[in-house]
Amino acid sequence: MLRMIFIQLWNERKSNVLIFLELVVVSVFLWYASDALYVQYKSFERPLGFDISNVYHVQLATVPVSSADYDTSVVHSRKGGSDFLAVYDRLAHHPQVEAVCYTGGNHFHYRGSNQFATFKKDSLMRHGYVRHVDPAYFRVFRVKTADGQSWETLTKALDENRIVVTGTVGTDFFGSAAKALNQEIQITDQGDRDSVFYHIGAVCEPQRYSDFMDYDYAYYKAAGSREAIANSGDGLANGWSLFIRVKPAADNNRFVAGFTREMSQQLRLGNIYLKDVVPMSYYRNEMLRYWMDDIRFYFSCILFFLLNVFLGIIGTFWFRTQQRSAEIGLRMAMGASRRNIFRHLFAEGFVLLGVAFVPAALVFANLMYLEVTEWSAMQIPVLGRLLCGMGMTLGLIGIMVAIGIGFPAYRAMRLQPADTLHDE
Amino acid sequence: MIKHYFKQALRLLKENKLLSVISILGTALAICMIMVIVILYVVNTAGFRPEVNRERTCYFTNIMSLGKEDGRRMSYSGIGLPLLETCYYPLQSAEVVTGVLRKRWDKLPASTMDGLRRYNSQVILTDTAFWQLFKFDFLDGAPFAPAAFMSGIREAVVSESVARTLFGTVQATGKEMKLDFTVFRICGVVKDVSRFANKAWAEVWLPYTTDPGYRQGWCEGINGNFQCYALLKEGKNREDLRREAEARLASFNSTLSDYKADMLHLPTTQVEEWLYGGNEKPQDVSRAYLRYGVVLFILLLVPALNLSSITFSRMRKRVAELGVRRAFGATKRDIVSQVLLENLVLTLAGGLLGLVLSFFSLWLLRDWLLTTSLGEARLSAGMFNGYVFLAAFLFCLVMNLMSAGIPAWRVSRVNITDSINS
């Protein structure tokens, strides 16, 4: 039967060539798109190294000096940092809040506000980030240690005024996270002329900046003691960021409104006031928009290609069953069952797809070889990637071919042999 | 003759409904995808109110400061006021230069004096040149005056929505409101601006001299929070502007002791700003265009192949008819143009449907197609120019040629006797 189909396809090559070409082109691009999605998905699903669920950014601000409401007393202006600490404590005592932390200057997760740092050891040099945080940062963002323990060790390291490096720094500079403990590393913060040798107090899990980025280098150091904060001015509340982790039971879509209403009065201290409470997911969505647009673009292209395949197949096969009604009638008269006719048409469609897929695979292999396909620093097994892309492409086009042929084939099946032969 | 072809094409349309529907749908789908891309390109790059001067505007969005001796990286952020004043404001190649402070991440609560009605608004702090670069539609009042700007008098221009929320009317000039604990007098009300105008868009516009922190900066005045937009003078191009800015920057740097400023590849044009805004490294715009070209080509090619095979099978049915026409003296060219014209009817029908579909899908998918970095934007009639429709028509023509060209050529070459025999 297969041989028959091949012979027939060959005999009809003139009318088949265009649909064949379309299947080749569509297969290549569909494969390209599904491969890009696969790579992005692989990159997306790796652990981030921190957890923003139930985490909110508590935005504080200060009353401008020009305002009549500005409190000029020294306690609230030049030493307004103590008000900041009071706000911190009030947040910590709130029954719905599980943990609070502040970070100095930069709001780094999903916000693109960073201070860079250069890591050096022997001849190895890497660029990364420095992050000034409160020891409770690890608790709020649920950062684990490199060996999967919870945040306590990390918090302790900062409390002892030592630094915490990410797992990536550990493995790249010392071979493994465990070996990096208590080792010395030379770091230059952005803007500093001199570098400092630090003893590594703890190693946290590898972290990534955002869901589609790779693991990067970073280290954490304590943002400043309570006394230092208490002695700084009220401007601190503008620059530094406060984060709270809310108890899961209390976190719902009414949380922000309720919390703001309840706390506005309590957090109005000296010149500091509560401006906004923003869920971290907001910053995440803002940052990921660029990638999301890409993914949506690929999805709409896939949909477009599939619809075209569907239209093309249904058009071609519909026309063909009309043209070949005589042939079909003859087959029936010769004893072919209706089911046979149906199966014959189906087989024809899938053989056409199979034949078209061979050159498509060759083209794609070449594209991959030339590195035109989606690039990633991740080590993705090539075989798995190829099989996944191929499976998805063939599966999707297969479904479209099946739907496209189904209707014409059903029509062919219902033909009356006598009617069709009558035309002859 | 052409009228005759059209009649015949319409007749054929009715004859095989399924094939016609498929052809029209295929074309519509392709044109719809293409038009969505074209429309998004147009709203992001072409000028419309208030950003009417997009073609001639250049953007200095960031500045890098480095250590003077060792060139180590110090900061990469907005522009500081001293740098803005000494290097950018005096630029001779520019007709208008404006400095803008945008509080991207925090909205300021605007409220009535009694505090009963509030509107959390996005604020732009700027100078008077801003109102020359961008052409806002004032519903009431006027922009803040140069004198008010110079002396830091608290005046504000607000958008229609803000005025309506706070005062229930757009006639709000002269009324007072509180913004971040400070009292401002409203001097003008403008029509709401689309967020696609992402440089001009805000809800409240203030003179930056009213902001207590506007002089705030670091790295000896190189860095701060300003962005700077310059409107090129007639006859000047971006290179002229860049060269002049470089020269001014060099003399500014010579006055500094520890730092030096580097503007990298800036200023950017509107297209670059849209594609790669904020990127530290220069990006090649031609690559983006190449990518667009490839995408458009594929979007045309796949349905064209598809439609070709349908057109071809339809033509095969009519070979006898065309053979007769040849026998009576029609040339190959006549046959080709007949097939192309007949097909054009289908393509145009599909194109029209596609254009409608593209507007519909823009509306349906506004959540992600029309979302800018500032939030959801809306399309308005003012953003569309003739180009959108011209582009739609041109793409239809290309599509027609691609989908009917090969079948027409092949049918025209069939031997006369053979075709009549069949």
Q: Is the pLDDT of residue B374 over 60?
A: no
Q: Facing residues of B420 across strands?
A: none
Partner-chain residue, chosen from B29, B107, B309, that has the shortest CB–CB distance to A18: B309
The answer to whether A324 touches A8, Cβ cutoff 8 Å, is no
State whether B302 and A193 contact (CB < 8 Å): no
CB contact under 8 A, A289 and B67: no
Contact A307 B182 (CB under 8 A): no
A5-19, A99-113, B261-275: least confidently modelled range: A5-19
Please indicate if any CB of chain B lies within 8 Å of the CB of A314.
yes
Q: Which of A13, A17, A18, A272 to substitute to test the interface with B, most B CBs within 10 Å?
A: A18
From the list B314, B313, B350, B340, the residue with the least C-alpha distance to B25 is B350
Task: Report how far apart, in Å, the C-alpha atoms of B140 and of each of B156, B159, B170 are.
Answer: 12, 10, 7
The pLDDT value given to residue B118? 84
pLDDT > 90? residue A139: yes
In which element (H, E) is residue A228 found? helix A226-230
The predicted structure's pLDDT at residue B382: 58
Cα–Cα distance for residue pair B224/B87, rounded to 1 Å: 14
Which amino acid is located at B5 in the chain? Answer: Y
A61 and chain B in contact, CB less than 8 A = yes
Greatest distance between any 2 Cα atoms in chain A: 106
Closest CB from A59, A296, A308 relative to B302: A308
| A303–B contact, CB cutoff 8 A | no
Indicate whether B379 pLDDT > 70: no
Q: Distance between CA atoms of B251 and B265, rounded to whole angstroms?
A: 18
The pLDDT value recorded for residue B77 is: 87
Centroid of chain to Cα A186 = 32
Per the prediction, chain A carries an average pLDDT of: 85
- For tokens 């006021």, name the residue: B81
pLDDT of B208 > 80? The answer is: yes
Whether the upstream peptide bond of residue B50 has omega within 30° of 0, thus cis, is yes
Q: Which residues pair with A273 in a beta bridge?
A: A61
Q: What residue spans define the domains of chain B?
A: 2-48+285-421, 62-267
Q: Which residue in A has a C-alpha nearest to residue B374's C-alpha?
A: A286
pLDDT value, residue B372: 59
pLDDT band at residue A348, thresholds of 50, 70 and 90?
A: confident
Residue A140: pLDDT band with limits 50, 70, 90: very high
Which band of pLDDT confidence, cut at 50, 70 and 90, is reported for residue B92? very high
Residue located via tokens 């059209």? B6
Residues of B in contact with A323 (CB under 8 A): 313
Tell me how far apart the alpha carbons of residues A351 and A76 are, in angstroms, rounded to a whole number: 81
Q: pLDDT by residue (tens digit) across B148-175?
A: 899 989 999 999 999 999 999 999 999 9
Instruction: Report d(CA A230, CA B261) in Å as an integer.
Output: 35
- CB burial of B1-15 (b: ≥16 within 10 Å; e: otherwise) equals eeeebeebbeebbee
Q: Which residue of A22, A64, A70 is in closest CB contact with B306? A: A22
Chain A residue numbers with beta carbons less than 8 Å from the beta carbon of B105 are: 111
User: Which residue among A67, A70, A311 sits closest to B306, beta carbon to beta carbon?
Assistant: A311
Nearest to B18 among A61, A63, A318 (CB): A318
**Average pLDDT estimate for B133-154:** 92
**Which of A37-51, A64-78, B114-128, B262-276 is predicted with the least confidence, judged by mean pLDDT?**
A64-78
Determine the residue of chain A that is closest to B309 in CA distance. A18
CB contact under 8 A, B308 and A18: yes
Query: Could you write out the DSSP letters of every residue in B26-70?
Result: HHHHHHHHHHHHHHHHHHHHS-BTTBTTGGGEEEE--EEEEETTT
Instruction: Indicate if the pLDDT at residue A377 is higher than 80.
Output: no
Residue in A57, A163, A37 with CA at minimum distance from that of residue A111: A57
What pLDDT band is residue B311 in, cutting at 50, 70 and 90? Answer: confident
A45-67: per-residue pLDDT in tens? 889 899 999 999 998 888 877 77
**A307 near B CB under 8 A:** yes
Indicate whether A13 pLDDT > 70: yes
Beta strands in A2-72 (DSSP E): 55-62
Place B105 in a pLDDT band, splitting at 50, 70 and 90. low
What's the DSSP call for residue A232? S
Contacts of B107 in chain A (CB under 8 A): 276
**For residues A5-33, average pLDDT:** 83
- Mean of the pLDDT values across residues B283-290? 85
- Mean pLDDT for B205-227 is 88
The pTM score is: 0.79
The residue of A63, A311, A367 whose CB has the most chain B CBs within 10 angstroms, and thus the best one to mutate to test that interface, is A311
Query: For an interface test with B, which of A308, A324, A325 has the most B Cβ atoms less than 10 Å from its Cβ?
Result: A308
**Is residue B316 within 8 angstroms of chain A, CB to CB?**
yes
Element (H, E) at B376: strand B375-376
Q: Between residues A345 and A89, which one has the greater pLDDT?
A: A89
Confidence of residue B3 (pLDDT cuts 50, 70, 90): confident
CA distance A150 to chain B (A): 32
**pLDDT at A423 > cutoff 60:** no
* Chain B residue with minimum CA distance to A193: B72
CB burial of residue B320 (10 Å; 0-12, 13-18, 19+): middle
Question: What is the distance in angstroms between the Cα of A308 and the nearest Cα belonging to chain B?
Answer: 6
Q: Three-class SS of residue B188? A: strand
Facing B33 at nearest CB: one of A69, A304, A320: A304
Contacts of A65 in chain B (CB under 8 A): 212
Q: Shortest Cα distance from A4 to chain B (angstroms)?
A: 22
Q: Find residues 51-110 of chain B whose CB sits inside 8 Å of chain A.
A: 67, 70, 72-75, 105-107, 109
Q: Which residues of B touch A31 (CB under 8 A)?
A: none
pLDDT at A424 over 60: no
Q: How confident is the model at residue A243 (pLDDT cuts 50, 70, 90)?
A: very high
- What is the reported pLDDT for A131? 92
Chain B partners within 8 Å of A111 (Cβ): 105
Helix A13-45 vs helix A2-11: crossing angle, to nearest 10: 110
Tell me what pLDDT residue B334 has: 83
Angle between helices A338-369 and A325-333 (to 10 degrees): 130
**Hey, is the C-beta of B175 within 8 angstroms of any chain A C-beta?**
no
Residue A260 burial (C-beta neighbours within 10 Å; 0-12, 13-18, 19+):
middle
If we measure between CA atoms, which residue out of B108, B104, B106, B140 comes closest to residue B204?
Answer: B108
pLDDT at B83 over 60: yes
- Sign of the Cα pseudo-torsion (B273, B279, B282, B285, in order): negative
CB atoms A296 and B368 under 8 Å: yes
Nearest of B179, B382, B299, B195 to residue A29 by alpha carbon: B299
Nearest to A25 among B25, B75, B302 (CB): B302
Over 80: is that where the pLDDT of A219 sits? yes
Give the per-residue pLDDT at B378: 63
Tokens 């770091």 belong to A187
B406 touches chain A (CB under 8 A): yes
Q: Determine the Cα–Cα distance for residues B229 and B233; give it in Å rounded to an integer.
A: 13
Which positions in chain A touch B309 (Cβ < 8 Å)? 15, 18-19, 22, 312, 315-316
User: Does any CB of chain A come closer than 8 Å to the CB of residue B350?
Assistant: no
User: Nearest C-alpha of chain A: how many angstroms from B301?
Assistant: 9
B298-307 pLDDT tens trace? 888 888 888 8
Token digits of residue B210: 């009213």
Q: What mean pLDDT comes out for the span A8-14?
A: 78
Any CB–CB contact under 8 A between B308 and chain A? yes
- Tell me if A276 and B299 make a contact (CB, 8 A cut-off): no
